[in-house]
Structure 1
Amino acid sequence: MIQPHLFTAPQAATSLTLFRHTAPLVHCLTNDVVQTFTANVLLALGASPAMVIEPQEAAEFSAIADGVLINVGTLTAARSEAMLIAVKGANKVGHPWTLDPVAVGALTFRTDFCQRLLEHRPAAIRGNASEIMALARQAVAGRGVDSLHSSAAALEAARLLAQTCGASVAVTGEVDYVTDGQRLLEIPGGSALMTRVVGTGCALSAVVAGFSALPGDRLTHIASACRVMSLAGERAASAAAGPGSFEPLFLDALYGLDAEVMV
């Protein structure tokens, strides 16, 4: 087993500064429930979100975008066609794409589809422990979007998945872990209130897609994406009375993060 190295906020400051300077265009083929929140998270961090889902346009736009997110939360047959076209379009021009395997292991159609997508070599995968274990073909069944396992329980599955498909794999939960199959980074922080607002995990996947497009060490950039989101969650939770006030405070916290705050 690879020993994790603790990844902290100061280490994420450089990636965040680069992200804001680069302002990546992120093509999000994501689920209907979280589109607005995902777009707002990307905008708060200084990125440009787009939600192009028409199959005839998906490949064209994925070639323009800096990074592509494939989130199967509200997967349909038509949407799977657009997603596959977008992935092929991104690969054709060498742009990274990120997979969020929502509820894989719990439902057959999306599980089979995500296994097909792995053949197209995602740059990053972001999911909860049950999703990552199921994607790695370990005998687990999830409960929809909820994980039945701690993130630490999926570390071996994440390592194997990274080694077989070449992706950097982020397993998120109370503690986040990111691995490329050789290295393992542990990212602390966050707040329980993040699980009481729809879309924080899906939005994190979009942020991972944006950070994956940055030049330099991809594993560090993806860990930075996780730490940026967890730190914003901590700051928002400290002032929130509950989920209703947490969401706008979370967006404000993301907007206010900079290198000095991260340090």
Structure 2
Amino acid sequence: MKLVHSPQELKSLRKTLKGSVGFVPTMGALHEGHLSLIKRSKLENDHTIVSIFVNPTQFLPGEDFEKYPRRYEADKKICEIAGVDLLFMPTPQDMYEKDEVGMYAPKIKGYILEGHFRPGHFDGVLQVVNKLLHITNPTRAYFGKKDAQQLYLVQKMVREFFLDTQIVPCDIVRDQDGLALSSRNVYLSQKERQKALLIAKSLKKAAKMVQSGVIDAEEIKKRMYDILEPIKLDYVEIVDREFNQIDQIKIGDTIILVAGYVGSTRLIDNIWI
């Protein structure tokens, strides 16, 4: 594995790679969810590039940019063991100029749900993903379904900017107790973790209701709210794959999403129906 810090050096190395290239963008603090993306990239491509970059432009004032978990030495070892070919670890100074060209999320789909509660967040996400895709020029890039709205907006950006990369959605990886894996889970105390499990429990209940023939979105949300009552919620929403609100479940075209706080930790989760 080769460690690279400079975007220019990575672009030069990329030109020497023959065959297909998979890319896994991360903010580090790697866990089994990230590893599942890396494994899939290695399975489907001749080479795999991973980036570790805690991107400042996607954090709002007062969010956890400074305390976001950083475990660079452990992450390097994980990538080496996983068989990553190139590990890209730039600094903010490597990635950004003082007077940047702007990148803006869609005015509607970028400002609902996550975008409503974190206005401007997706501007920063799309800005850095656009840069990373141009630096790595991958055949395929791998994104987790847990960040469902992010995934949708990245796919939209790639399509509308005519980029030659296939965005590959990857299933959520959960711990044995059902909690969706997230780097922010380290913030949770043991008691808070038990409370956080209500999120996965509510989504499981929604899935069971659909399996039993219930397709009314409001009825499903009501039962979810009952389960989630102890959690400070930002939203419980049911949308289609284009992130339009829907009144009834459409099998194969529905995402049920939850976002809320357990203690001071904000968690998101979803299920694709």
With normalisation by structure 2, the TM-score equals: 0.28
Structure that is richer in helix per residue: 1
Rg: which structure is higher? Answer: 2
The structure with more strand, counted as a fraction of residues: 2
TM-score by length of 1: 0.29
